[in-house]
Amino acid sequence: MLAQLNRTAFGRASSILSTVCAIYPGIALAAVVGLAALFLSEHYGAPVMLLALLIGMVFNPLAEEAAVAPGIGFSSKALLRAGVALLGVRVSFSDIASLGVAGFSAIAGLLGGTILLGLLLSRRDWQSGVLTGGAVAICGASAALAISACLPKGKVLEQETLFTVVAVTALSTLAMIFYPVALAQLGFNEAQTAFVLGASIHDVAQVVGAGLTVSEETAELATLIKMVRVSLLPLVLCILVLAVSATGWKERTHRIPVPGFLIIFFVLALLANIGVLTEAMAEFAATVSKWLLILAISALGAKTSLRSLTTVGGSKLMRIGGLTLVLFGASALIAQLLPGLS
């Protein structure tokens, strides 16, 4: 009996070791790409996700090698889901409550309306619609990765995800530059400007950057509004999982169970808000999440050639751009109507 247990334990250890050896080269490649992207981002101010994606594409021929492919696949799937799960520590129930019913309803309405418009514009391609609509409505690249993790897997979905990440990151950077100028020309006050910036710019970093061009107070309020949008991500993911599970896909012969990473997301959000997780622990989890998402997007970039990405089509770029402009216009209109901002 003891000999059998020893053989079983040794066999499991050997299996784990062989798996680690198989995925190590691909993870190492993703890590090198991620470090390069982070270095360039810190020195030149470009979005790290976009840099990781573009640098990763350069290594596409290497990523297709048999020695590297398993680790690239692991990074683009398992590490992606782990990074999304750790995003739960960023959800703040107090931030949601501080806006009041009117402010929260306005943000939720903008978010839901943007996703619905994305679905309408996508016509029959509902996966592309919810992916682009959710990325624009919630938090750019992070939302695109999280939504993609909940959808049925496929090569087309990977290309759509990469294209969406590139588009929303580029548009978010342009918005950081031009939105504050446009709002100043329209005569918006600081509170109204903060609302529009937080409710319409895709990525958190660009929201902060745009707010700081006006004032620190504007940046703080804009970031608060932006984080409320981020806090709605788990609700969107739950609805998406339930919808896909209920309707199925292909020939309706499969079902998608509730993903484990989504459960962890909720648990971490709850623990962070009731005080079980200290601020230092939450900060550590957020940092790990950022690194895992950088590794995942580096691997996704390495899996996709630039030529295949161009096959996604200009119509999808127009859709993302149109959604971005509609969200900006609707946010500006609501900012003028909310009594607390005038």
What are 219-254's pLDDT values in tens digits? 878 878 887 888 788 888 888 888 777 665 544 444
Compute how many other C-beta atoms are within 10 angstroms of the C-beta atom of residue 328: 20
pLDDT digits (tens, 9 = 90+) for 316-327: 788 889 999 999
In angstroms, the CA 67 to CA 134 distance is: 35
The answer for residues whose C-beta is within 8 angstroms of residue 130's C-beta and 6 or more apart is 115, 118, 119, 122, 147, 151, 240
Compute how many other C-beta atoms are within 10 angstroms of the C-beta atom of residue 314: 8
> CA triplet 156, 245, 107: central angle to 5 degrees?
80
In angstroms, the CA 220 to CA 215 distance is: 9
Do residues 132 and 119 make contact, with C-beta atoms less than 8 angstroms apart?
no
User: Helix count (H) and strand count (E) of the chain?
Assistant: 18, 0
In angstroms, the CA 260 to CA 172 distance is: 30
Q: Which residues of the chain have pLDDT under 70?
A: 1-16, 95-96, 98, 154-155, 246-260, 262, 304-314, 342
> What length is written for the chain?
342
